[in-house]
């Protein structure tokens, strides 16, 4: 499985684990906070948090000795998932918010809503199918190479 | 469930449905092409394609009358998922490609790899926690408002 999308998905674990990451971005750190927010069974929450810790997206820290209590903090790799998360917010808002937006990304100075786009940090150019494309990389296997040779 | 992330995830359906969207971006359209690429059971592929069609991300089109054969095409909403997909590629490449990149996004003119960043199309500014933030929107419920009042 060389595809970075498949690998990324695999590391995040289950679909709804993204909501744990979301809550972590919102500042939640403790088991009971996540549980209250997500309203899921403790054993399921434990399993998802364990996956996120094993994949290096979150770190488990002891914050109380007696009784032992842990908090879950985003690692650098987890914080770096922010781009994916914001792209999801933007897409969700565009297509699945018929009654208006429940959350939005704004420019702090002007208070105006951000219109999210992707750019190339190197050139400063906004991403466009005319200027950019996905190609097989140096570690591509035969299957990947074949895929890109037939890309439209 | 007012959160656009949760809604977006819900509409895509199962985790691995993203790989169907990925393959559709690569130009695959037919059931047997998806099946070969993803190596999953036909009934599972049918279920996922049906979810994507019901959520308006893909469209099912008859391309052959006898026998009846269908192809699956990305809708505008599905194509708009591209931002999320590219953010996933970029994140996966950064963190889970120890042996090198299997695919990469490049500048067509220079052939150089794109360093993906988010920007505000309105102001042209790259996204930054100093300049931008996520806030409760007009359709936020009490729970969402409370969440953002405690955001760090």
Q: Is the pLDDT of residue B3 over 60?
A: yes
Domain stops at, among B78, B107, B132 = B78
Contact B107 A125 (CB under 8 A): yes
pLDDT value, residue B146: 80
- A83 touches B at CB < 8 Å: yes
Q: What is the pLDDT of residues B69-112, one digit of tens each?
A: 999 999 999 999 999 999 999 999 999 998 899 999 999 999 99
Q: What is the CATH number of the domain that holds A44?
A: 1.10.10.10
Please tell me which residue of chain A has the smallest CA distance to B144.
A102
**Arithmetic mean of pLDDT, A124-144:** 89
Tokens for B151, please give them: 């955001």
Number of domains chain B contains = 3
pLDDT value, residue A124: 92
Whether residue A65 is contained in a domain is answered as yes
pLDDT value, residue B75: 97
Q: Is the pLDDT of residue A116 over 90?
A: yes
- A149 touches B at CB < 8 Å: no
Instruction: Please choose, from the candidates A79, A80, A85, A81, the residue with its C-alpha nearest in 3D space to the C-alpha of residue A103.
Output: A85
Contact B139 A102 (CB under 8 A): yes
Q: Are residues B97 and B150 in the same domain?
A: no
Per-range mean pLDDT, top range of A8-17, B14-23, B89-98: B89-98
Checking ipTM against 0.85, whether it exceeds it is: yes
Q: Are residues B70 and B88 in the same domain?
A: no
Whether residue A48 is contained in a domain is answered as yes
pLDDT value, residue A5: 84
Contact B132 A105 (CB under 8 A): yes
Query: How would you class B146 by CB atoms within 10 Å of its CB: exposed for 0-12, middle for 13-18, buried for 19 or more?
Result: exposed
Percent helix, strand and coil across chain A, each rounded to 5? 45, 20, 35
Contact A89 B134 (CB under 8 A): yes
Distance from CA of A70 to the nearest CA of B (A): 19
Tokens for B71, please give them: 């192809």
Structural domain boundaries, residue B99: 81-116
Q: What is the pLDDT of residues A53-71, one digit of tens each?
A: 999 999 999 999 999 999 9
Query: How would you class B70 by CB atoms within 10 Å of its CB: exposed for 0-12, middle for 13-18, buried for 19 or more?
Result: middle
Instruction: Please choose, from the candidates A9, A8, A38, A43, the residue with its C-alpha nearest in 3D space to the C-alpha of residue A22.
Output: A38
pLDDT value, residue B91: 93
Q: Which one of B4, B133, B134 has the shortest CB-CB distance to A92?
A: B4
**Residues β-bridged to residue A74:** A58
Percent pLDDT > 70 in chain A is 97
Binning pLDDT at 50, 70 and 90, where does residue A141 land? confident
Q: What is the pLDDT of residues A62-102, one digit of tens each?
A: 999 999 999 999 999 999 999 999 999 999 999 999 889 98
Pairing state between β A69-74 and A58-64: antiparallel
Whether residue A127 is contained in a domain is answered as no
> What is the 8-class DSSP label of residue B2?
-
Q: Which pTM was predicted?
A: 0.90
pLDDT value, residue A12: 80
Whether residue A13 is contained in a domain is answered as yes
First to last CA, chain A: 22
């Amino acid at each position: 499985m060389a595809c970075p999308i498949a690998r990324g998905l695999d590391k995040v674990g289950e679909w709804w684990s993204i909501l744990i990451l979301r809550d972590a971005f919102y500042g939640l750190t403790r088991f009971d906070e996540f549980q209250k927010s997500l309203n899921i069974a403790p054993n399921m929450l434990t399993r998802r948090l364990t996956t996120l810790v094993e994949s290096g997206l979150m770190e488990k820290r002891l914050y109380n000795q007696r009784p032992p209590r842990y908090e879950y903090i985003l690692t650098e790799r987890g914080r770096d998932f922010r781009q994916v998360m914001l792209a999801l917010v933007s897409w969700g808002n565009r297509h699945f918010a018929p009654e208006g937006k429940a959350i939005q990304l704004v420019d702090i100075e002007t208070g105006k809503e951000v219109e999210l786009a992707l750019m190339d940090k190197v050139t400063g150019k906004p991403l466009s199918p005319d200027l950019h494309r996905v190609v097989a990389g140096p570690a591509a296997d035969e299957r990947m190479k074949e895929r890109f040779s037939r890309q439209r």
